[in-house]
Chains A and B, each alone.
Chain A
Amino acid sequence: MSGPLLQVRNVESYYGPIMALRGVSLEVERAQIVAVLGANGAGKSTLLRTISGVMDPRVGTIAFDGQEIAGQDPDKVVRLGMSLVPEGRQVFPFLTVAENLDMGAFGRRDRTGVPEDLERVYRYFPRLAERTGQQAGLLSGGEQQMLAIGRAMMGRPKMLLLDEPSLGLSPLLVQEIFAIVAQINGDLGTTVLLVEQNARAALGFAHYGYIMELGRIALSGDCADLRDNPDVQEFYLGIKEGGIRGKRRWRRRKTWR
Chain B
Amino acid sequence: MSTKNGMTRRDFTALSAVTALSFAGLGAQARAQDGTTFVIASNTELDNMDPHTALGNIPWAFFINIYDPLVRVRHDPPTIEPGLAESWTISEDGLVLTFNLRENAVFHDGSPITAQAVKYSFDRLLRLGAGMSWMIDGIIEAHGVEVVDERTVRITLSQPFAPIMQVLPWVFIVNPAIVEANKGDDDGQSFLSSNPAGSGPFELTRFEAGNLYGFTRFADYFVDGGGNVQNVIWRIVRETSSQRLLIERGEVHYVLDLTAEDMNAIEAAPGVKRVIEPTLQPFYLRMNTAHGPLTDVNLRRAVSSAFDYEGMIDVLGYADLLHGPFPANLPGHNAAMEVYRTDMERARDYLGQSAYPDGGIKLTYVYVSGYEQQRRIGLIFLDSLRQLGIDLEIKPLTWPDMVAAARSPETQSDFMAVWQSSNYADLDNFAFPAFHSSQNGNWTNPVFSDPKVDEMVVAARVGTDPTERTRIYHQMQAYVVDQATDIYCATLQRLIAHRDNLQGFSYTPIGSNAPEFFPLSLT
* Chains A and B form a bound pair: no
